[in-house]
Amino acid sequence: MTMAKRVLVLNGPNLNMLGQRQPEIYGHTTLAGITADVEAAAGGFGMEAVCRQSNHEGELVTWIQEARGDFDAIVINAAAYTHTSVALLDALTLFEGPVVEVHLSNIHRREPFRHHSYISGAALGMIAGFGPVGYRMALMALDDLWRTGEETP
Ligand code: DQA
């Protein structure tokens, strides 16, 4: 029997406030709701998802370092650190498996300072603008990658 692929799903600062935070941008779904959806979707793909959220850059860096050898992929919404953190980029670059970047909002439709992502430099791809379903889309992309063994050029 093959082992289920393990996916670490990381959420960055202020995403613990989803549901209360700017619902006109981020919607009404809470982080607990997203987590339940991701865990169920992962099960459907035969994967195991472990979801964590932190408001602290260093804690996210440590979790990414510790994911080496323990997880097969990382799905990350680094929130505001997307636009500021070389430390997260460096940590993700060290990770040997695929990284999928997720944003609830379409960062390219928003303020110019949100248009640049440091995370993208280490990511296979980015999903932005589809709200919570973006996390499920990330799992779908990983499932496809693992079934076909092909990365989209
Ligand atoms: C976000 C977009 C970021 O610009 C913002 O700082 C967030 C959330 C998103 O999911 O749309 O906190 O990553």
Print pLDDT tens along the chain (153 aa): 678 999 999 999 999 999 888 888 888 999 999 999 999 999 999 999 999 999 999 999 999 999 999 999 999 999 999 999 999 999 999 999 999 999 999 999 999 999 999 999 999 999 999 999 999 999 999 999 999 987 665
CB 115 within 8 A of CB 142: no
DSSP designation for 151: -
Cβ-proximal residues to 146 (8 Å cutoff; 6+ apart), any chain: 5, 72
User: Residue 58 is inside which H or E element, if any?
Assistant: helix 57-67
- Ligand 1 neighbourhood includes 53 CB (under 6 angstroms): no
User: How much is the pLDDT for 87?
Assistant: 98
Give the per-residue pLDDT at 42: 98
Q: Which of 26, 81, 118, 135 is catalytic?
A: 26
Determine the pLDDT at residue 81: 98
What are the extents of the domains in the chain?
5-148
pLDDT score for 150: 73
* Ligand 1 proximity of 82 Cβ (cutoff 6 Å): yes
Of ligand 1's listed atoms, the one at least distance from the Cα of 134 is 10
Atom of ligand 1 nearest to the CA of 13: 12
55 C-beta closer than 6 A to ligand 1: no
- What is the helix, strand, coil percentage profile of the chain, to 5? 45, 20, 35
Please, what CATH class does the domain formed by 5-148 belong to? alpha beta
Judge whether 103 counts as a catalytic residue. Answer: yes
